[in-house]
Amino acid sequence: MIKTAITEMFGVETPLVMGGMTGVGYGDLVAAVAEAGALGFLVAHHFQSGEELIAEIRRIQGMTKKPFGVNLTLLPSLNPIPYDEYRKAIIESGIKIVETAGRSPIDHLPDFKANGVK
């Protein structure tokens, strides 16, 4: 096991990160990355609702007991994106690692911080 700030902070074996990848960042890949000792991120935007997201998180949790996170890309959209549902699903499922992209996650930080999400 390699020890770095990443491995210590997130409880992974190796300091490799599979960032959120649209089109492929689904549960099977995320679980495989986690099982290999790295940190994988499930892409929230692949799911139409918080319920669908939490179902996929639970499926991954059934495949691995190792840490993984959720990617929350914050972008403008013509169609409403259920960010509040995503945030609730992340917290309720016990996910402790979130990566964001697109714009500032300031609206989500108070809830994430209050629930120990990094």
Dump pLDDT digits (tens) for 48-81: 999 999 999 999 999 999 999 999 999 888 989 9
pLDDT averaged over every residue in the chain: 96
Q: What is the number of residues in the chain?
A: 118
Q: Specify whether the CB–CB gap between 65 and 100 falls below 8 A.
A: no
Helices (H), the chain: 5-10, 27-35, 50-63, 83-92, 109-114
